[in-house]
């Protein structure tokens, strides 16, 4: 049995979620559906991911009372994966 780094599947999942977020944003903007997001769509996803991570600290309590939209659920899942990746990397450094 070969060794598989525990980060590899998480990094792959993070990249898949990033593309899914890009496609979801494009869909919400009414763009033509595609299988693979364009560079511009991925950049828009990166901006949404950064904004979500920044905003989550300020509005976390308010979200407890409202259901998440499909896009917000994807962003929350992405943030959770990123936090797990950072935790694993931090553990390795200590």
Residues 6+ apart with CB under 8 A from 81: 10, 13, 14, 17
The answer as to whether 37 is a domain residue is: yes
Q: For residues 20-25, give the mean pLDDT.
A: 97
How many domains does the chain divide into?
Answer: 1
The answer as to whether 24 is a domain residue is: yes
State the angle between helix axes of 7-28 and 39-63 in degrees (0 to 180), rounded to the nearest 10.
90
pLDDT in tens, 36-67: 999 999 999 999 999 998 887 666 555 566 78
The answer as to whether 1 is a domain residue is: no
Q: How far apart are CA 50 and CA 63, in angstroms?
A: 18
Nearest alpha carbon to residue 24 among 42, 7, 50, 12: 42
10 Å CB burial of residue 74 (0-12, 13-18, 19+) is: buried
pLDDT of residue 60: 59
Q: Which domain holds residue 15?
A: 7-93
The answer as to whether 70 is a domain residue is: yes
């Amino acid at each position: 049995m070969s060794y598989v780094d525990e980060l590899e599947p998480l990094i792959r999942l993070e990249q898949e979620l990033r593309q899914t977020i890009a496609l979801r944003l494009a869909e919400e903007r009414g763009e033509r559906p595609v299988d693979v997001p364009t560079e511009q769509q991925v950049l828009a996803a990166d901006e949404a991911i950064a904004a979500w991570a920044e905003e989550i600290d300020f509005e976390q309590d308010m979200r407890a009372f409202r259901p998440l939209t499909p896009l917000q659920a994807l962003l929350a899942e992405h943030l959770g994966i990123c936090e797990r990746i950072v935790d694993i990397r931090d553990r390795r450094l200590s």
